[in-house]
Structure 1
């Protein structure tokens, strides 16, 4: 039985192989830009850097165009090559992953917009430490989910999915702290609300990183692991793949 990676290297023509490799490469390029967007948005927020925040906002159009271009490439491959089995899963997975990457870009743009608002209104009295901590956590999840895709590593993908639970808990704790602070100091409500929206965007980035990880597991194992819970997902990751 060929390994998972070997199965994805056996195509009907070298040209087909090149086309598949090209969309994989373009996805990873898009992922690298999205990672930078998350990092830059967090830095812009914490450091009150309006110029950097504006750059994040402007680059969102580039990410949107990359999604459209890769999606068109996927559609062309489906129409012209009519791939089957693992090749079909690769194209379908890429078409889904780029949607999550585009939405991560959107969330980064939202964070940058809140950073600009806070530059205008004056920094919020609380929440920057929490934003920086959760921001670095979810950025690492995105990075590791893309690395799992590049390596077709289901164990790493499952680790990302498991991390989403920790992010959800950090988000809930931070939200409670921010709400308590606003109740104690009503004058801070306007500025702290911007922090609450940032925290919400970061939590959504974690969700999208988990989605990417789930697509990787589907790509390699051929099983849709969405909505099944971590225990069943782990069982699928450890299960051997049948010959195709």
Structure 2
């Protein structure tokens, strides 16, 4: 959500005059911070697991709501017209980047894809894990990894410069990535502002931005 939420936040600030601070990180790490009392007002996760956990722990105003569905892609910075999963076995592909599946839903989805195609065992020695999708993207953009798994939203943004090549993976090979949003019990003084942002996420304007970044509204 790093790229999409930046654009959504910018539009929200223009529309309402309410300033926002974005904290970007893996869903798991942010959840741990919230559990430990981090002063956040809204949490947008890359899955539903962590918002549901926070709801069960009494940290949220209400139950989570899906704001969109993410999609997984295979990405390489070097131009390759035939990028595909079988390319991962090539000797020149020494490192394959993905987000840590313990903390990041897109990393978990990547592992599911490799398992579905019976590639995980043969590729284990090549896998390098980013703390989040953001760090995974850094591995890919600096070619610390020759190929890797990332969010379609990230691939679209990274390809803006004309560099990079990617292919969207079959959504039937991994669990749908429903992404959830919750209002957190933190600061009553700015509750109204937080509620305005929450509502804005589901506005036509914000939903159009999400679709432009490769998210779907239905699965």
- TM beyond 0.5: no
TM-score interval for Structure 1 and Structure 2 normalised by the shorter chain: under 0.3
- Greater length-normalized contact order (CA 8 Å, ≥ 6 residues apart): 2
| Greater strand content | 2
TM-score normalised according to structure 1 size: 0.25
Which is greater in Rg?
Answer: 1
TM-score normalised according to structure 2 size: 0.27
